[in-house]
């Protein structure tokens, strides 16, 4: 049990060290937009997509100004949910299925 807590502390430390949360971004906001991610983004419900666009625009604005959000507005490790992950997994599964079908 002690090892699990240590790994969790390391994950939290790395999450904060990465710094994207200080700009109000979530982990899924920082994914490289390859074809799979682009397709997953198309499948997001409108409100999730709009929230993502807002976070990214705000982060770009802060970055240009060389600023970060006040600490009480940082995205906390516990609050960062992987909103894109279910859609991305589905897209990847479908792509693998298509690739397997095309090999036949």
Q: Would you state the pLDDT for residue 41?
A: 98
Fold for the domain defined by 2-103: Cytochrome Bc1 Complex; Chain F (1.10.1090)
Q: Would you state the pLDDT for residue 40?
A: 98
Dmax of the chain from CA atoms? 55
Per-residue pLDDT of the chain (104 residues; tens, 9 = 90+): 567 889 999 999 999 999 999 999 999 999 999 999 999 999 999 999 999 999 999 999 999 999 999 999 999 999 999 999 999 999 999 999 999 999 87
Domain ranges, ordered by start, for the chain? 2-103
E strand or H helix at 56: helix 46-64
Q: What is the dihedral of CA 6, 9, 14, 15, to 10 degrees?
A: 140
Q: Would you state the pLDDT for residue 1?
A: 56
């Amino acid at each position: 049990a002690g090892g699990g807590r240590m790994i969790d502390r390391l994950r939290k430390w790395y999450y904060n060290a990465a710094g994207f949360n200080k700009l109000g971004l979530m982990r899924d906001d920082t994914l490289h937009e390859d074809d799979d991610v682009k397709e997953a983004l198309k499948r997001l419900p409108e409100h999730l997509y709009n929230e993502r666009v807002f976070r990214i625009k705000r982060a770009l604005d802060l970055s240009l100004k060389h600023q970060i959000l006040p600490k009480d507005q940082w995205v906390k490790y516990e609050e960062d949910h992987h909103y894109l992950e279910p859609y991305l997994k589905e897209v990847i599964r479908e792509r693998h299925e298509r690739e397997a079908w095309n090999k036949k």
